[in-house]
Structure 1
Amino acid sequence: MAPRRKCHVCGSKQWHKEPTSGIVTCSEGHVLQNYRTETHEVTELGPHAVRKRTLKSGRKKKERQSKADPKLYHGERARFHYFQCLQVLFRMQISALIRLWELPPEFELICRDIWALNLALLPNPPTPEPLLHALDGSEQDHASKASSSPRPSPEADEQNEREERADGSDADQSSSSSGSSSVSESDDEELEELMRENSETPSDDDDEPTSTPRPRPTARRPRKRRTFGHYDTPASTVSCLVVACWTLRLPVMYVDFVRSVESYELPYLDPLRLLPESMTSHLRKHTVQALSPHHPPSPLYLHQLASRLARLMYSTYDIYTPEMNAAPILWKSVRCLHGNPLIYVLTKRLARLVSIPLTLHRSLAPALVRTKKRDPTFHKQDSAVPEVALVSAVIVVMKMAYGLDGSPRHPQNAEDPACALPVLSELIRAIRNAEETREAAVSPMSTEHHSSVLDMDDQMLDDYLQFCEKALLPREDRMPARNVTTTNFPLPENPVPRPTDSERVGSAQADADYPGMNANTIDDSADALRPGQKYPVYNTQDILGTVPEDLELVVARAASWAGVDEDYILGVVERFERRVLRWWENVKRKERHARSSASE
């Protein structure tokens, strides 16, 4: 700002500075003498410039105190503790199945081996427990010295396993190959960095103006890594039980496990009340949610987990899971639809005809014979739920014999096997009565029951309260506090009594009994439809189509028996029907070819 003093010529106090020259003049134009303008902008520093050095303060800042609970585990330690909880739950499930189904003691050994294989075959296997957290303070120094040795990472282990499977080399070769692969990977990263920088340098074409600017690629947000994956859920323990039952060839279905879970006989729902407090005190919110499923696993989900485990066990360790014990399951499916032994025999022939696989995964079954290069090695629905495949074959046999489309089929002579089948009207009546009885006998605690507590009578309320005592009360209120391992695996004192031969015969006779039905009548008229004639195949992709009433009742009964949706049953039935049609067309083609060759 110009100084507030009088001009020595005119006495004016109004001054202004010219922006171009920097001269200060009064209102009359007299120049102020002995005035200069200085600037503090430095463009170049000389050799004698003085620079001020900043000194760091030696005062230490206070560390921020964490408010987190030291008892809660985080990171890999929390994930390892999560699998420990799953393992304890898995042992409880083994003990419960041995007690419920009177399984042999070998079942426990098989389950433990399958659980170890399941952990090894996970996409992200759990890391070993950090030893420094398990040791006392006096042993930490020794543990730190022991842990200073080089330890391969999980990624390096996976790479070594891949190289061993591909090249068949031993452990020494795999370690050397892993070292060379790491060097080559670093060289590749440097080469990629140089190529990227070279591609980013401007070229001659970039100097030319373009009408439309090239849009920049948007950077993808990094996906948040899930602590617990799709195959780490508590349902994985049930899938290990399924594979163990298949290994022993036990005739069990997925719905048997689901019903045991719903009745709280198999520990699965709300398992934290069964775990000791020393384990649950270290669980954080996300781990508690992962260990607390709200609903029982569906049969389709269990089949997905079990088939994946069986496939990886065979492809990785060459451990083959046996086929299903199909004879008892097939008889159960026939009895579910109130069929007789003739339907059982016809279904076995049909299943062999259309090559229904009885394995957990289609890769465990022999591949199809390929006559042409374009022929597939497997059929569609070959990886379907095995019990669904069997009951779908029963439905195909019933459609061949009865039609189930509103038009009756009658055999033409007494030699037709359909003469030994029951009458369709009585069969449909028996199925409808059985379905109504099942719906009335559904437990109020089942997921299929949708009634309210206000609709229950006194007896149902007593049963419900008794069920709540078993399902909701904590472990300490029901049994004395003991060690989890010794509680579920006590020392064998007396062997479990096995059923005698007379008991087995009596139970088999009870299963063989079925309601008496009149045999199918013979109609030798020319306009009567025969079994297998005008066979209707319904397309499941037609969402606007309808299914006949008789077929809908049969499919609903089969779906409730297997624990799946009706659409899933209809899809498997359609695939089997189309296989039968292709087989029949090949048979007729061979007959025509044989007749033509004979005439020549």
Structure 2
Amino acid sequence: MQTLVTGQDDDDYSAAPRARTRQKDTDHKEKIYQYFKGPRAVQLYLKSLQLILQHQVQFLIQDKGLPAEIEIIVRELWCLRIAKLGDKMTEAHDYDSQSQGLTTDASGPESDDDYALLNRKLKLNNTPGLIDCLALCYLGITTLRLDTTPGDICDWTINDKMPYHRAIKYLPKSMKDRLPSGYHAVLDPNSLLNIERFYSVLLDIASSLQKEHGIKWPPLNHPLLLARYIQELALPLELYHATTELARVLDYSLALSESNTGKSRVQHLPEAQLASCLVVCTKLAYPFDRRQRHPQTMGEAAAVALDWEKWLAHVDKSSEGDNEVPRKLTSKELATVQEADIFEMADNQLDEYLDWYQDTFIDQDKHEVDEYRKDLYSWFPIDRDRSAHSPQEQDTESKTQRQLKAVSAVHGTMQPIRIIKDTEGDDVVRPGQHYTYYRNLEELPDHARKFYEMVAKVAGLSLEMLVMAVFFAETAIEKRRKQDQKLATAID
């Protein structure tokens, strides 16, 4: 063991100055934070969100064939949406990469059907999120009065390529590196799109733009939408006129608007209004119970009976398509794949899973690939022609043909009901009598639940929202019927 020996320092050098003037290691580099802070971070986040919005609009135009005019409309709506954020981009507050002060519309609890004006104003003063972008796209669709529903948007974000899940991958690396981690979390949601949350943001934006900029949203293009609903659900055409007339009787505007109380509920959603009228008319003309109801004339929609068991069989066959081709897995199923599921997948489903994994988790920045990875990719190439492995994507025409076949098959199973006039008896049960109300999901019988689920899916509503909207419409009808009875009694 060596002993430290000290001696007299002839030059009178002290240890302290020597420690302070020691040369630093040239190989050691001071850590430099690359992410932006404060107003610069907000500006970069909005630019990133705008880039994702551009990808969403291009998806609607190029992949789904929507009119190119939607790009102009969405751009103008985006400018109005971020007009309130000027103060946020100039205020001198700093946020580091772990800041929790970055509030967006992508977080925060709300009630399902109660949106107060004060809360709405506060939320719109915050920075927008990915759901805001989807809502702006739908407002553009509504402005053009297209037959696209929120259900389509939800389905496209789950099963297609509309940017939402892992949307951050659409940003270049230079932008991602400078975004604080709080914004990374906003642009990289770990859950699927919630349709109720979508409507919450949609109503906030639509009401704000209507109040502050005088934008009056047009009503739904109900002729196109009803025709689509009837075809996809294989329902009798007689329901078209009945649904339109019921909406008129209930004074449904079928347009985005705010109630007089300053609060919006599910019955104020135009999509819920139209869907609930269709369900009520279906229950009146073709009830789910097996009780016989005899019309007075052959001209009534209820003059024929709809066999719900056969209807369900034909509709399921139409939605499943060719049984020889394994169905396409949804993003939700792909995200929950377990080891044992791999052994039960068909070849095309394995390709879908590997494609999904590549798109979701593999960094696509080619300029960062080193020589080792280049060699590895050359041995095991992951790029391929996906069009040859996606039969469902080439099945659009056959899907329409299957729907038309289902409509024809369902109509072929409908049987006429015996006509009984008023003079033939007083105890005859008429269409509309013994009407059944369903207040919650547990009360729905099997066929009714399946029908509600299909209507909710095509209209873009959750099952709970549709049940509430239908019950509200039924309550409004009953209230109006009693008012008419009182008026008739008073006149007599």
Q: TM-score scaled by structure 1?
A: 0.59
Q: Does 1:443 align with 2:328?
A: yes
Query: Counterpart of 2:451 in 1: which secondary structure?
Result: helix
1:344 is aligned to 2:240: yes
User: Aligned letter for 2:58?
Assistant: S
Is the alpha carbon distance of 1:430 and 1:410 closer, same or farther for their aligned partners in structure 2, counting shifts above 3 Å?
farther
Q: Residues 2-22 of structure 1: CA distance to partner in whole angstroms, max 9, x if unpaired? A: xxxxxxxxxxxxxxxxxxxxx
Structure with a larger share of its residues in helix: 2
The residue correspondences of 1:481-560 to structure 2 (distance < 5 A) are 514-515=407-408, 516-517=411-412, 518-522=414-418, 524=420, 526=425, 528-540=428-440, 546-560=443-457
Counterpart pick for 2:351 among 459, 462, 465: 462
SS at structure 2 position matched to 1:382: helix
Q: Which runs of 5+ in 1 are unaligned?
A: 1-60, 131-152, 154-223, 368-375, 479-505
Amino acid at match of 1:242: Y
Any idea what SS the aligned residue of 1:447 has? helix
CA distance in 1, matches of 2:237, 2:418: 20
CA contact (8 A) 2:157 2:165 kept: yes
Using structure 2 for the length normalisation, give the TM-score: 0.70
Q: Note the alpha carbon deviations across 1:313-366, whole angstroms, 9 max, x for none.
A: 111111222222222222222334321210111111111111223122335xxx
Contact 1:77 1:129 in 2 (8 A): no
Once the two structures are superposed, what CA deviation does each residue of 1:77-115 show, in whole Å capped at 9, x if it has no partner? 222211111111112222222111333332222111111
1:462 and 1:520, CA in 2 relative to 1: closer, same or farther beyond 3 A? same
Of 238, 250, 255, the match for 2:146? 250
Distance 1:441 1:342 in 2: 36
Corresponding position of 1:228: 103
1:408 to 292, 301, 304: 292
Higher RCO, 1 or 2 (CA under 8 Å, sep at least 6)?
A: 2
SS at match of 2:343: helix
Q: Summarize the alignment of residues 337-486 of structure 1 with structure 2, pairs less than 5 Å apart.
A: 337-363=233-259, 381-384=266-269, 386-419=270-303, 422-431=306-315, 433-434=317-318, 443-447=328-332, 452-476=341-365
Equivalent pair of 2:233/2:455 in contact (CA under 8 Å): yes
Q: Secondary structure of the equivalent of 2:32?
A: coil
Alpha-carbon distance in 2 for matches of 1:448, 1:507: 22
Preserved CA contact (<8 Å) 2:266 2:465: no
Q: Distance in 2 between matches of 1:589 and 1:508?
A: 48
Q: Name the CA distance, whole Å, in 2 between partners of 1:378 and 1:303.
A: 13
- Which AA in structure 2 matches 1:259? D
User: Highest Rg: 1 or 2?
Assistant: 1
Instruction: Note the alpha carbon deviations across 1:552-576, whole angstroms, 9 max, x for none.
Output: 2221222333454322211111100
CA contact (8 A) 1:413 1:522 kept: no
Cα distance in 2, alignment partners of residues 427 and 409 from structure 1: 19
CA deviation map 1:170-227 (0-9, x unaligned) = xxxxxxxxxxxxxxxxxxxxxxxxxxxxxxxxxxxxxxxxxxxxxxxxxxxxxx9731
Distance (Å, rounded) in 1 between the aligned partners of 2:194 and 2:349: 26
Distance in 2 of aligned mates of 1:271 and 1:379? 30
* Amino acid in the other structure paired with 2:344: D
Partner of residue 569, structure 1? 466
Q: Decide whether aligned partners of structure 1 residues 339 and 559 sit closer, same or farther in structure 2, where only a CA change above 3 A counts.
A: same
- Distance in 2, matches of 1:288 and 1:278, equals 13
1:380–1:239: structure 2 CA closer, same or farther, 3 Å change rule? closer
Deviation, structure 1 residue 591: 2.6
- TM-aligned CA deviation for residue 459 of structure 1: 2.9
Give, as a single letter, the amino acid of the residue that structure 2 aligns with 1:591.
A
Counterpart in 2 of 1:81? 44
Partner of 1:29: none
CA RMSD of aligned residues (A): 3.7
**Which of 185, 201, 205 lines up with 1:305 in the alignment?**
201
* Residues 425, 304 of structure 1: alpha-carbon distance in 2 compared, 3 angstrom cutoff: same
Q: In structure 1, what is the Cα distance between the partners aligned to 2:264 and 2:186? A: 36
In structure 1, distance between residues paired with 2:454 and 2:313: 12
- Label 1:562 to 1:412 Cα distance change in 2 as closer, same or farther (>3 A): same
Q: What CA distance in whole angstroms lies between the structure 1 residues aligned with 2:142 and 2:241?
A: 24
The alignment of Structure 1 onto Structure 2 pairs a total of residues equal to 398
Contact kept in structure 2, 1:236 and 1:305, CA below 8 Å: yes
CA shift for structure 1 position 390: 1.8
Q: CA deviation at 1:125?
A: 5.6
> Could you list the runs of 5+ residues in structure 2 that have no partner in the other structure?
1-19, 22-28, 94-98, 106-126, 368-397
Q: 1:436 to 1:569 in 2, by over 3 A?
A: farther
- What residue is the counterpart of 1:127 in the other structure? 89
What is the deviation of 1:393?
1.4
**SS of 1:281's equivalent?**
helix
Change (3 A) 1:416 1:90: closer
Identify if the C-alpha distance between structure 1 residues 69 and 443 changes in structure 2 by more than 3 Å, giving closer, same or farther.
farther
For 2:452, give the aligned amino acid.
Answer: V
Whichever residue aligns with residue 251 of structure 1, its letter is: D
The equivalent of 1:115 in structure 2 is 78
Aligned to 2:110: none
Identity %: 21
